[in-house]
């Protein structure tokens, strides 16, 4: 972490240091210094508008959305619900919540290029902000919510690994809206998702 601060070319090292101190340890296991600097820039933007988003079209054909905002009940459900309602296939997500309530969420989409149309980036940015701030009603096409593949579902709840949180692990066949349904169920039962690690086998 000291190396991250020493090599930072920005002018707000104290702010970056606070950001680093507040983020969970697991955040740094998957974030390069460059990515941390970019995330901190999103944090600064989010403080002004309550929301910030970067869109990165990757060389492997996927597109990564990195979103920053303040934590709130049902936040993850609203994010994945909105993306699913726009037919976006979420193949992975990494959600990190800092002790000060700031959220950094990385979501990778596999079919962004297939869906892309002129102006889509701006549309997603504006409408996703509404969803994050609770000003968007999610509607999914029931006909599209059929499982892809046939896998026996597995669910495990671990209350021993962490002193502060319960760990829910599950495997299931993928389908449109799966993350939305799961996260909505968690939210409806008064539980808060502070960390998420989602992977989809393509």
pLDDT tens digit sequence for 90-103:
999 999 999 999 99
Closest CA to 124 of 172, 35, 64: 64
What is the reported pLDDT for 147?
58
Task: Cite the DSSP H helix spans in 71-119.
Answer: 75-85, 112-115
pLDDT, tens digit, 9 for 90 and up, residues 55-71:
999 999 999 999 999 99
Q: What percent of the chain has pLDDT above 70?
A: 92
Q: CA 83, CA 90: separation in Å to the nearest integer?
A: 8
* 93 contact partners, CB below 8 Å, separation of at least 6: 80, 105, 106, 107, 108, 179, 196, 197, 198
**20 with 100: CB under 8 angstroms?**
no
Task: Cite the DSSP H helix spans in the chain.
Answer: 2-6, 13-22, 25-29, 33-49, 75-85, 112-115, 120-132, 178-188
What is the reported pLDDT for 185?
87
pLDDT averaged over every residue in the chain: 87
pLDDT, tens digit, 9 for 90 and up, residues 136-181:
777 766 545 565 566 678 889 999 888 888 988 988 887 777 888 8
Query: What is the token pair recorded at 167?
Result: 């760990």
pTM summary value: 0.82
């Amino acid at each position: 972490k000291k190396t991250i601060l020493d090599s930072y070319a920005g002018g707000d090292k104290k702010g970056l240091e606070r950001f680093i101190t507040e983020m969970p340890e697991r955040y740094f296991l998957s974030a390069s210094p460059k990515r941390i600097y970019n995330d901190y820039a999103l944090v600064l933007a989010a403080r002004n508008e309550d929301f910030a988003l970067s869109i990165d079209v990757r060389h492997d054909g996927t597109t990564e959305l990195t979103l920053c905002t303040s934590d709130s009940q049902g936040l993850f459900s609203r994010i994945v619900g909105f993306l699913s309602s726009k037919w976006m296939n979420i193949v992975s997500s990494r959600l990190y919540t800092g002790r000060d309530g700031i959220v950094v969420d990385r979501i990778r989409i596999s079919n962004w290029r297939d869906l892309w149309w002129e102006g889509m980036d701006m549309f997603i940015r504006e409408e996703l902000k509404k969803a994050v701030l609770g000003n968007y009603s999610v509607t999914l096409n029931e006909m599209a919510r059929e499982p892809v593949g046939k896998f026996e579902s597995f669910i495990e709840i671990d209350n021993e690994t962490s002193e502060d949180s319960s760990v829910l692990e599950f495997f299931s066949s993928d389908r449109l809206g799966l993350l939305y349904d799961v996260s909505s169920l968690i939210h409806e039962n008064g539980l808060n998702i502070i960390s998420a690690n989602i992977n989809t086998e393509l």
